[in-house]
């Protein structure tokens, strides 16, 4: 499903990723753990197509297609979703309008029928309710005045609405209290646990992994994957810290 091969990347003239290789087959959830500054968000941005984040060597394919050759919106239409570490505020545009236009733009790109306003509102409300988000918040401007936790929950509502084939979730667990963490964990399992879907779960805490059990865990350290293993690796990291695991 997602294949990353020897990926190198430089951001603002500084090498950040130094040869990352990773294979996430359909039906699996892989966790990436690593200390602050190790390049986790850089990897996420690169996969989602943020301008200014470019590979200097190596590449990535998504279902065999050259992912890095596609524009950000084409990647979304192909079924890739990025859950942002820092969700962005857009004043003047309601969540409902933002998501309806986004989803319909994806659907047009896939030659699918667009959703009517009524169909969309029904879908959005249902997803908000499943994630425990007040549906009135969908009428507010995108993320404006939302708390950190509300923004993260809203990212998961967006994921529920888009129903992507592959999700890269960048520290979706940070800033969540225990109830929100449970809701988000359950949301990830409900939306993304399927034989034809995959997840790259970026986190630096074990706690989300108690709710979303990964098939594999990788340690990203100074721009390289220094170890890979099963779910037990995350417990080891929790006990020992990254430096030791990297040694």
Partner 1 sequence: MTAPFPTHRQEEWRYADLEALKPVWEQFAEPVTMTVAAGESLEEVWLPSADDVQLRRIQVALGKAAKARIFALNTAPVYGRIELEVSLEEGAEFELFGANIGAGLSTNEIVTNVKHVGIGGRSRQTVRSVLNGKAIGSYLGKVEVARGAQRTDAEQSVKAMLLDRGATANCKPELEIFADDVKCAHGASVGELDAMQLFYAESRGLDPAGARSLLLEGFVMGLWDSASDGDAIRDAAREALRKVVA
Ligand X SMILES: Nc1ncnc2c1ncn2[C@@H]1O[C@H](COP(=O)(O)OP(=O)(O)O)[C@@H](O)[C@H]1O
By CB under 6 A, tell whether 165 contacts ligand X: no
* DSSP per-residue string spanning 169-221: EESTTTT--HHHHHHHHHHHHHHH-STT-EEEEEES-SGGGGTS--SEEEEEE
Query: Which partner from the list Mg ion, partner 1, ligand X, none does 16 bind, CB cut-off 5 to 8 Å by kind?
Result: ligand X
By CB under 5 A, tell whether 106 contacts Mg ion: no
The binding track of 1-30 with respect to ligand X, each residue x by CB under 6 A or -, is ----------xx-x-x--------------
Query: Which partner from the list partner 1, Mg ion, ligand X, none does 73 bind, CB cut-off 5 to 8 Å by kind?
Result: partner 1
Query: Which partner from the list partner 1, ligand X, Mg ion, none does 95 bind, CB cut-off 5 to 8 Å by kind?
Result: none
CB of 211 to Mg ion, least distance (A): 20
The Cα–Cα gap between 17 and 10 comes to 7
- The answer to whether 109 touches 65, Cβ cutoff 8 Å, is no
By CB under 6 A, tell whether 37 contacts ligand X: yes
**Region label for 241, one of left (φ > 0), alpha (ψ between -120 and 50) or beta (otherwise):** left
Size of the site for ligand X (CB under 6 A): 12
Nearer to ligand X, 42 or 234 (CB): 42
Helix, strand, coil percentages, rounded to 5, for the chain: 40, 30, 30
Query: Contact positions toward partner 1, by CB under 8 A?
Result: 48-51, 71-73, 75-77, 81-82, 84, 87-93, 97-99, 101-103, 105-106, 109, 141, 158, 162
Instruction: Provide the CA 204 distance to its chain's centre, in angstroms.
Output: 14
CB of 113 to partner 1, least distance (A): 15
The Cα–Cα gap between 84 and 159 comes to 11
Site for Mg ion in 10-69 (CB under 5 A): 40-41
The Cα–Cα gap between 220 and 206 comes to 15
Strands 14-24 and 65-66 turn out to be unpaired
Nearer to partner 1, 89 or 210 (CB): 89
CB of 45 to ligand X, least distance (A): 7
Comparing CA positions, the residue from 205, 177, 204, 170 lying closest to residue 188 is 170
By CB under 6 A, tell whether 40 contacts ligand X: yes
Binding site for Mg ion (CB under 5 A): 40-41, 85
Which residues contact ligand X (rule: CB under 6 A)? 11-12, 14, 16, 34, 36-42
């Amino acid at each position: 499903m997602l294949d990353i091969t020897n990926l190198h990347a430089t951001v603002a003239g500084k090498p950040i990723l130094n040869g990352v290789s990773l294979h996430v087959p359909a039906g699996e959830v892989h966790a990436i753990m690593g200390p602050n500054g190790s390049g986790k968000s850089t990897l996420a941005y690169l996969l989602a197509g943020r301008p200014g984040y470019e590979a200097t060597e190596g590449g990535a394919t998504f279902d065999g297609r050259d992912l890095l050759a596609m524009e950000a919106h084409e990647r979304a239409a192909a079924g890739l979703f990025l859950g942002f570490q820092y969700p962005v505020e857009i004043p003047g545009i309601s969540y409902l309008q933002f998501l309806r236009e986004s989803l319909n733009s994806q659907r047009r790109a896939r030659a699918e029928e667009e959703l009517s306003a009524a169909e969309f509102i029904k879908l959005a409300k249902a997803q908000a309710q499943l994630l425990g988000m007040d549906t009135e918040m969908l009428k507010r401007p995108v993320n404006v005045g939302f708390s950190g936790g509300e923004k993260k929950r809203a990212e998961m509502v967006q994921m529920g609405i888009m129903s992507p084939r592959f999700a890269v979730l960048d520290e979706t667990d940070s800033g969540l209290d225990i109830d929100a963490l449970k809701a988000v964990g359950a949301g990830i399992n409900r939306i993304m646990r399927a034989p034809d879907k995959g997840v790259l779960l970026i986190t630096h805490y074990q706690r989300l992994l108690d709710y979303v059990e990964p098939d594999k865990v990788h340690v990203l350290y100074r721009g390289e994957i220094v170890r890979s293993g099963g779910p037990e690796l995350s417990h080891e990291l929790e006990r020992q810290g990254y430096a030791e695991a990297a040694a």
